[in-house]
Amino acid sequence: MTYLQNRREFLKTTAAAAGALGLGLTGTTACSGGGGPMNILILGGTGFIGPHTVRYAMSRGHTVTLFNRGRTNTHLFPELEKLVGDRDGDLAALEGRRWDAVIDNSGYVPRHVRDSAELLADSGRYLFVSSISAYKDLTPDGITEDYEVGRLEDPTVEQVTGPTYGPLKALCEEAVQDVFGDRANVVRPGYIVGPGDTTDRLTYWPVRVSMGGDVAAPGTPEDPIQFIDARDLGGWIVRMLENDIGGVFNGLGPTEPLNMGTMLEVCREVSGSDAVFHWIDAGFLAEQGVFFPIWGPRTGPSAGANMLDISRAIAAGYTSRPVADTMRDTLEWWSTLTEEDRPGGRPRAGPRKRGMPPPSGPPTMDTMLQVEAELIEAWGARSA
């Protein structure tokens, strides 16, 4: 069943609990937590999604403890208990402790995740933030949580690279499930976006559209887009723990299907720009060796990367804020950054030709605009 079919079916469901049971969730499916404040341990907590999760948990009255190396954003959350250590062999600060729930958003190596899970096995739940890259491929539309995951020829490999990242995440998931059983939660996000996203992959679009003028738009307006706002992800994670919901979930949004055309129109609306979109055929982009952030062609091994089934997540309480809020807030956040934070006046991600960035560093905004202008001109000539 496709995502759209699942979505329509879900909207027909009047009993959330019945819907959740039909989708294979474990635990309760109440809409609000009834177990009182929790003690939550977050392995990480100071990067991108961590602070959003921490703030939401604190707003719900929970007590939060952070465990990390004490190197990133150390100024955040001075009021919280902070345990210092390292996933790779220095977990001493966690010994003899128990929490109602553990959120692991910093695990990439299965050995590290298994070590922390085993040490914290007496805790209530263990929620691991994985990735849709854990699937063996993203070719078909409507991939559900039961789709086959990727495997490594040598499962002892610990070097995180492009080819190993996804299969290593799958092994991390298995480590948590082996230790916690039905007390394990696995969330597989796609692109995590919003204010604070230093990858700038989504950020490119509201920033570029806000500049106005002729904007190169990849593919067609109907091409699907999926991402999850980090604030929606953090809130949903906490609510699942409050409601004692376990299982594996695709973590993508928004809850209503979104396409590239609508996303760019929203960017234009929130920025008030005069941008004009020039839609450029995916095949032509491939010929030119040019790639755009967030968007992907509807053919090849990632053809279904923006069409995963999220009906199980919705049944487990996932909600998404309006796309306009994500775009507006992202643009406002980006506008507060210093030139040092965004050298060259650009987001780090943007349209680039195969082989970019050069050894000297990421391309400047001027370089990306030049790539864009050349594309529009070349596509116009080809179309004519």
What are the tens digits of pLDDT across the range 294-348? Answer: 999 999 989 999 999 999 999 999 999 999 999 999 999 999 988 777 755 667 6
257 burial via Cβ count (<10 Å: 0-12, 13-18, 19+): middle
Single-letter amino acid, residue 163: P
Q: What per-residue confidence (pLDDT) applies to 361?
A: 55
SS3 state at 334: helix
Q: What is the pLDDT of residues 274-301, one digit of tens each?
A: 999 999 999 999 998 888 989 999 999 8
Mean pLDDT, the chain, as a whole number?
88
User: What's the burial of 298, exposed, middle or buried (CB within 10 Å: 0-12/13-18/19+)?
Assistant: middle
pLDDT of amino acid 345: 64
How far apart CA 109 and CA 120 sit, in angstroms, is: 17
Closest residue by Cα to residue 191 from 209, 177, 204: 204
10 phi and psi, to 5 degrees?
Answer: -65, -40
Q: Quick one: pLDDT at residue 344?
A: 58
> CB-based contacts of 270: which residues, under 8 Å, 6+ apart?
206, 324, 327, 328, 331
Q: Does residue 248 have a pLDDT over 60?
A: yes
Question: Region 124-150: what's the mean pLDDT?
Answer: 98
Q: Give first-to-last CA distance, the chain, whole Å.
A: 40
Distance of CA 70 to the CA centre of its chain: 23
How many angstroms separate the CA atoms of 214 and 22, rounded?
48
* φ/ψ of residue 39, rounded to 5: -95, 115
Specify the DSSP class assigned to residue 201: T
- Mean pLDDT of the 109-123 span: 98
Predicted confidence (pLDDT) at residue 15 exceeds the cutoff of 70:
no
pLDDT bin (cut points 50, 70, 90) of residue 260 is: very high
Question: Which pTM does this prediction carry?
Answer: 0.88
pLDDT of residue 352: 63
Candidates 181, 185, 171, 89; CA nearest to 134 is: 171
Pick from 40, 224, 228, 10: nearest CA to 130: 228
- What pLDDT digit, counting tens, does each position of 78-104 carry? 999 999 999 999 999 999 999 999 999
Q: In order of start, what are the domains of the chain with their CATH numbers? A: 3-383 (3.40.50.720)
pLDDT-based confidence at residue 367 (cuts at 50, 70, 90): confident
The CB density around residue 180, as the number of other CB atoms within 10 Å, is 22
